[in-house]
């Protein structure tokens, strides 16, 4: 009877760890949430359309920002999936000019001079969402930071090099999309 009870307890503990509990949260540096940042391609918290994922064309969404804090010199984008086995960085872009208080990156095409860093797949630029089939929906955090000093990063910086430059940011804007594969 003791072995049976131990098995029941072990199964209950295992079930509680699968799909239950809290989802991992983004560990991106905090900053004042004073920058408006969004996409016209899906609503915040909604499912990311398949055309932006590995199940579709895999192109990046259009990004829109406004109300960049006065005095900002550079904007930095980070897109990550904290639900992956270890946070997966899907995109970093930096050197985005902050001299205008509003901007647009149609289909992820930033203004001239913008640089792309390595993502967790080891490639420069965007890697579309592609969670394992059968997983619960993954959450993709899009964050745009306003910096008062230029990062000085060259093309191909690692996600760690990029996020290290975000500490002390003047502001940021974030939104999240989800994606789940069958």
Cα separations (Å) of 144 from 4, 22, 24, 32, 80? 52, 25, 20, 11, 12
CATH of the domain at 142: 3.90.280.10
Question: What's the confidence (pLDDT) of residue 131?
Answer: 96
What pLDDT is recorded for position 50?
96
* 16 has a pLDDT exceeding 60: no
Q: Is residue 16 part of a domain?
A: no
In a domain, 154, yes or no: yes
For the chain, what is the domain count?
Answer: 1
Kindly state whether residue 157 falls inside one of the protein's structural domains.
yes
Let me know if residue 93 belongs to a domain. Answer: yes
pLDDT at 116 over 90: yes
| Segment 127-158, tens digit of pLDDT | 999 999 999 999 999 999 999 999 999 999 99
Q: How confident is the model at residue 181 (pLDDT cuts 50, 70, 90)?
A: very high
Whether the CA torsion 48, 122, 27, 157 is positive or negative: it is: negative
Residue 48 domain-assigned? yes
How many C-beta atoms lie closer than 10 Å to residue 149's C-beta?
A: 11
* Residue 60 in this model has a pLDDT that exceeds 70: yes
Residue bearing the bigger pLDDT, 101 or 30: 30
Q: Looking at residues 52-58, what average pLDDT do you find?
A: 96
Q: Among 4-13, 15-24, 85-94, which is the least confidently predicted range?
A: 4-13
Domain range spanning residue 94? Answer: 23-179
Kindly indicate the confidence band of residue 102, based on its pLDDT and cuts at 50, 70 and 90.
Answer: confident
Is 59 within the bounds of a domain? yes
Task: Note the helical H segments in the chain.
Answer: 2-17, 159-164
Query: Tell me, what DSSP letter sits at residue 153?
Result: P
């Amino acid at each position: 009877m003791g072995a049976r009870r131990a098995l029941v307890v072990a199964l209950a503990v295992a079930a509680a760890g699968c799909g239950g509990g809290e989802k991992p949260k983004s560990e991106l540096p905090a900053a004042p949430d004073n920058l408006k940042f969004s996409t016209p391609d899906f609503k915040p918290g909604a499912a990311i359309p398949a055309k932006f994922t590995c199940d579709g064309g895999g192109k990046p969404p259009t990004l829109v920002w406004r109300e960049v804090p006065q005095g900002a010199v550079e904007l930095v984008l980070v897109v990550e999936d904290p639900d992956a086995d270890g946070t997966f960085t899907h995109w970093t872009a930096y050197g985005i000019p902050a001299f205008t208080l509003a901007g647009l990156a149609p289909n992820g095409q930033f203004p001239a001079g913008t640089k792309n860093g390595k993502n967790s797949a080891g490639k420069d630029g965007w890697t579309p969402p592609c969670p394992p089939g059968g997983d619960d929906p993954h959450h993709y955090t899009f964050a745009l930071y306003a910096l008062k000093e230029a990062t000085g990063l060259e093309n191909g910086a690692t996600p760690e090099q990029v996020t290290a430059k975000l500490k002390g940011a003047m502001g940021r804007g974030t939104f999240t999309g989800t994606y789940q594969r069958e």
